[in-house]
Structure 1
Amino acid sequence: MSANAGIASNPYLSHELPPATWNQMIDINLTGVWNTTRVAVPHILAGGRGGSVVLTSSAAGLKGYAHISHYTAAKHGVVGLMRSLASELAPSSIRVNSLHPTQVDTPMIQNEGTYRIFSPDHPNPGRAEFEVASTATNKLPHPVGRGGRRQQRPAVPRLRRGRYITGATLPIDAGTTL
């Protein structure tokens, strides 16, 4: 079973974040993942054969980022949820792990708010400025949109088959969390 929930928003300094924006981010990016597990785990337990749960977090679930504290907090929360579930479900042979991708070419990041996060000094940043700034955060040369989703796809079956892997965070991030 995989749980993946994610939205982005405009950048804010943490102390200037509107409470409604904070709540929406936590509700979707963290509570959405929890709701998925809350519904799916009883079915996995009822099967009596063990299993695997993979939660999608983000590179922001492993390190802090300025101007997106609400996103970072939600994705760190996914890690905490994963570790709690891994502890709770291990006696039933259910493994729980999390994936931590870098920027992936999706509508969630291809928008003005994200462009401004990555290019705050540019008066009107677009995709080109975002791609340069985003790629610069990675240790490996990984332009956004050239393999991000394809690189994540093989990780889920590997985690599902890993009989002794539980409670693990797997960065798929071109080295951005180094």
Structure 2
Amino acid sequence: MGKLEGKVAFITGAARGQGRSHALRLAEEGADIIAIDLCQQIDTVPYPLASADDLAETVAQVEELDRRIVSRQADVRDVGALREAVTEGVAQLGGVDIVLANAGILGVTPDADADQDKLFRDVVDVNLTGVWNTVSAAAPFMIEQGRGGAIVLTSSTQGLTGRGGDGGGALSGYAAAKHGVVGLMRSFSHWLAPHNIRVNSVHPTGVNTDMIINDVLGKVFEAKPDMAQALSNLMPVETIEAIDISNAIAWLVSDEARYVTGVTLPVDAGFTVK
């Protein structure tokens, strides 16, 4: 029996990358999954976002683990769509015990003519407002059912350091949003502790996913080697793997961490202490 047997996890950005990895890791531990993803492009994001086929692949892989999964296309910027997805998932799976606010974008681009104001707004809308919407949609169900739970918000090393900032709307917005996630986590932890619901944040360094490993960001780093150096890790590794974050989250949401709340957990190869 896995350490999450009988639990239901609501995961945003679940179509690929870290979100899919989290869904599979928690499913391995016995959790059923409510998986959502936008599955559309945002025009200020310079790399391809996940597709409906990606989300379908997450569903197939979870089902191969003999776990149940409810998937829906929904935008984390739309709190109504999130509430509908959670409502449907709860109806089919019997509740929600774990929330992973994982969806995020990175709008860094080599295009000097890019609309920096729009880049800033879009990344903050997804990476910060989207986290607020996710918890706002799911927490009332957790409170009402009265069986406690755990929430993990995906921030970043940029939510602890802000290193590599270049004044542009994309990276500044990213750092601002990821710092804001820490504020939400701390506020939520006070709100939800009386209901035995724990809230923490994880802070990955660069992860080997499509958001980081793409031609666009490669061109940015070629043009700005000082930025690339500033964003390097203390340990001799360029990026870590999604499973490294998933393993940390699997511990955070389990009873092994039953008294851990309000913490910022770096999984960062020493980035934040460099």
TM-score, normalised on structure 2?
Answer: 0.55
Q: Please say if residues 153 and 202 of structure 2, whose CA atoms lie closer than 8 Å, have aligned partners that are also in contact.
A: yes
Native 8 Å contact 1:103 1:134 kept in 2: no
1:143 aligns with 2:143: no
* CA distance, structure 2, for counterparts of residue 81 and residue 165 of structure 1: 16
Matched, 1:22 2:120: yes
| Aligned positions, number | 164
Partner residue of 2:182? 79
Aligned pairs (5 A) from 1:91-102: 91-102=194-205
* Structure with higher RCO (Cα < 8 A, 6+ apart): 1
Match of 1:4 among 91, 102, 112: 102
Query: How far has the Cα of 1:43 moved from its partner?
Result: 1.0
Unaligned regions of 5+ residues in structure 1, if any? 123-129
Residue aligning to 1:32:
130
Aligned to 2:73: none
Provide the secondary structure at the position in 1 that maps to 2:223.
coil
> Which whole-Å CA distance do the structure 2 matches of 1:7 and 1:121 have between them?
20
1:62 aligns with 2:157: no
Q: Deviations over 1:139-167 (max 9, x none)?
A: 112232xx521211111121112111111
SS of equivalent to 1:177? helix
Which stretches in structure 2 are left out of the alignment for 5+ residues?
1-98
Per-residue deviation at 1:111?
2.9
Structure 1 residues 165 and 41: CA distance shift in structure 2, 3 A = same
Counterparts in 2 of 1:33-52, with a 5 A limit?
Answer: 33-52=131-150
Kept in 2, the 8 Å contact 1:9–1:114? The answer is no
The one-letter code of the counterpart of 1:105 is N
Q: Which moved more, 1:158-167 or 1:94-103?
A: 158-167
Question: Residue 120 of structure 1: CA displacement?
Answer: 2.9
SS of match in other structure, 2:209: coil
Q: Give the residue type in structure 2 aligned to 1:9.
A: G
Distance 1:83 1:164 in 2: 15
Please tell me whether the aligned partners of residues 207 and 242 of structure 2 are also in contact (alpha carbons under 8 angstroms). Answer: yes
- Among 244, 249, 265, the alignment partner of 1:156 is 249
Q: Report the CA distance shift for 1:59/1:45 in structure 2 as closer, same or farther (over 3 A).
A: same
TM-score by length of 1: 0.83
1:20 positional shift: 1.3
Secondary structure of the 1:53 match is strand
